[in-house]
Amino acid sequence: MIQTPFYLIDQAKLLRNMAVIDRLREGSGAKALLALKCFATWSAFDLMRDHMDGTTSSSLYELRLGREKFGKETHAYSVAWADHEIAEAVSYADKIIFNSIGQLERFDNQSATIQRGLRLNPRFSTSGFDLADPARPFSRLGEWDADKIGEVIDRLSGFMIHYNCENRDFDLFDRQLTRIETEFARLLDKVKWVSLGGGIHFTGEGYPVDDLAARLKAFSDRFGAQVYLEPGEAAITNSTSLEVTVLDILNNGKNLALVDSSIEAHMLDLLIYREKAKLPQAGEYEYQVCGKSCLAGDIFGDARFERPLSVGDRISVADAAGYTMVKKNWFNGVNMPSIVMKDLDGSLRLVREFGYEDYASSLS
């Protein structure tokens, strides 16, 4: 038996998402790039490669990982490239996307050998969190002045416009894209490609995938531009669980189940956005599932079970891939979860486990 905690990637569930991506690509002509900022577990890339067109990155290391482990088309984006990074970035990338006109001009000569893009900020988004809102006041994410952008348009072949965040509402997507078409038409007419970023929850249950495909095709046809999407969460949603084991049971006015994991170390976004984990909710026995770190608020959330929990019982935390494995850390020295693959035949395969040497070598 594989020792918990571990992230369990279910290939069959992952392939369901890939099938939706195939359907969207075929119906729209759009290309899909895996957003490595959300999911960069390269042991799964062999399963995803035939269904996606490449990767997009937010840093030099993500860029290199995409080139070396995924291959295919590689987009290089960073909020700010450093002088010592730019030559290496250009060597890995098919397209480099600058966050500002200042960066485009600063690295004009170094980037002239590949296609260049600019992040365009439409000054609106679908994000409900100020922390993640690219259109927040004084946002540093992209340029919005069409006149200023027009002055450098001859150096650009495309734009990246990332403004969706877990957007499940197709009608909202349609309205906002129409606004972008209207406000930036004279710029969009002059480029060869446009990335609409990630954050469109098109693999969610009931999402009108064919309507999205038709809308993307209409956009592409209008401007004569290749459309790109950058799915992160959409590519891996509901494909992975975090498997944990109960270490202790307490009752301090409420039943508490302490497990061999930690949200601070293994599901950090739950803490950042004050969200609860997706836990079992069937049964009459209620427990608050708690992490083992010393952080008082290290709590996965409330769960319900068919029978009372005991030490040694396994709990599965669902939908645990996006922005989790890339953010895991060594807080409290709590061991990182292993990475396990559930193959199509149902067998479990240990891909990677971590130990003390990994912890020690991350420090000095």
As a whole-number percent, the residues of the chain with pLDDT over 70 amount to 100
Instruction: Reply yes or no on whether the pLDDT at 101 is more than 90.
Output: yes
Name the pLDDT band for 97 (thresholds 50, 70, 90). very high
d(CA 82, CA 80): 6
Average pLDDT, the chain: 97
Q: Is pLDDT above 90 for 330? A: yes
Residue 195 predicted with pLDDT over 90: yes
Strand partners, 209: none
pLDDT, position 23: 98
Give the mean model confidence (pLDDT) for residues 29-56.
98
Q: How confident is the model at residue 225 (pLDDT cuts 50, 70, 90)?
A: very high
* 118-127 pLDDT tens trace: 999 999 999 8
Q: Please compute the mean of the pLDDT values over residues 244-253 and round it to a whole number.
A: 97
User: What is the predicted pLDDT for the residue at 362?
Assistant: 95
Give the mean model confidence (pLDDT) for residues 189-203. Answer: 97
The arithmetic mean of pLDDT across residues 143-165, rounded, is: 97
Please give the structure tokens belonging to residue 245.
Answer: 């084991």
Residue 128's pLDDT is 82
End-to-end CA distance of the chain: 33
The whole-angstrom separation of Cα 121 and Cα 60 is 22
pLDDT at 81 over 90: yes
Quick check: 271 pLDDT over 90? Answer: yes
Average pLDDT over residues 130-134: 90
Q: Is the pLDDT of residue 212 over 90?
A: yes
**Residue 183: band (very low, low, confident or very high) from pLDDT cuts 50, 70, 90:** very high
358 contact partners, CB below 8 Å, separation of at least 6: 336
Evaluate whether 142 touches 134 at the Cβ level (below 8 Å).
Answer: yes
Mean pLDDT of the region 106-117: 98
Nearest Cα residue to 158 out of 192, 108, 196, 122:
192
Report d(CA 256, CA 299) in Å as an integer: 10
E strands, 91-150, where? 95-98, 115-119
Q: To 10 degrees, what angle do helices 209-223 and 11-28 make?
A: 40
pLDDT confidence tier of residue 137, bands split at 50, 70 and 90: very high
Please check the confidence at residue 130 and state whether its pLDDT lies above 90: no
Note if the bond before 5 is cis, omega within 30 degrees.
yes
290 forms beta bridges with 258, 299
Query: What pTM did the predictor assign?
Result: 0.96
Give the pLDDT band of residue 346 (cuts 50, 70, 90). Answer: very high
Query: At residue 129, does pLDDT exceed 90?
Result: no
